[in-house]
A and B are shown apart, each in its own frame.
Chain A
């Protein structure tokens, strides 16, 4: 069974800071890894999907890196804004069909 750990569990920063959210997973035999954002009381929004053959994937101010062999992924958020406040979840996908495994998330608060 895949175990996913996200550090830190919570982060509170002033706007403008560059942020690093960490995700580690126990089974490195993955096909890809997905980062999601969840706003309070809402569903999950996919932010980035990084394939196991890739080392980085970028979308706007977001950049995800993947080190499959060491079981780690990092989400970088540049020039954070109050609108970035949400919980960020990572989910590595392996050979198990269907289900995704999730970390507990990093709860991010960006204050003006």
Chain B
């Protein structure tokens, strides 16, 4: 597609339930990133993929968080046993590659997760 898309745009869930968030990157972009933005907080890096591998997942806050990417395209971020502190906007971005001087990241519209 023309840009990065994410689904759902909004998700309300009950504490303890599992949720899956999806990201479709720009076609041809090999690098994909997940960030989190909690209310009143800055953007927090979670994980990035180069192809289907995740060289840096140091930002995942706990083992309840996991992510995968298949076919070098779509990525899914899964949060198990959700807690209220997981409530945030989850943003996905993609770029042609993971680094260097010319790899600009393009962001999707985000998924707003609310855990009741």
Contact = CB atoms under 8 A, between A and B. Distances in A.
Interface residues of A, number: 26
B106 interface: yes
Given A34-B105, A98-B55, A99-B33, A43 B110 contact: yes
B107 A43 contact: yes
Interface string B54-69: 0110010000000000
Contacts of B105: 34, 46, 100
Interface of chain A, helix or strand or loop or mixed?
Answer: loop
A34 B98 CA distance: 15
Interface size, B (range):
20 to 34
Interface in B60-93: 89, 91, 93
Contacts of A97: 48, 50, 55-56, 98-99
23 contacts: A31-B100, A32-B102, A41-B89, A41-B110, A43-B108, A44-B91, A46-B104, A46-B105, A46-B107, A49-B104, A97-B50, A97-B55, A97-B98, A98-B48, A98-B55, A99-B48, A99-B56, A100-B35, A100-B93, A100-B105, A101-B45, A103-B42, A104-B42
Interface of B: 4, 6, 31, 33, 35, 41-43, 45, 48, 50, 55-56, 59, 89, 91, 93, 98-102, 104-110, 112
For the complex of A and B, list the 4 residue pairs with the smallest distance between their C-beta atoms, beginning with the closest.
A98-B48, A97-B99, A44-B107, A99-B45
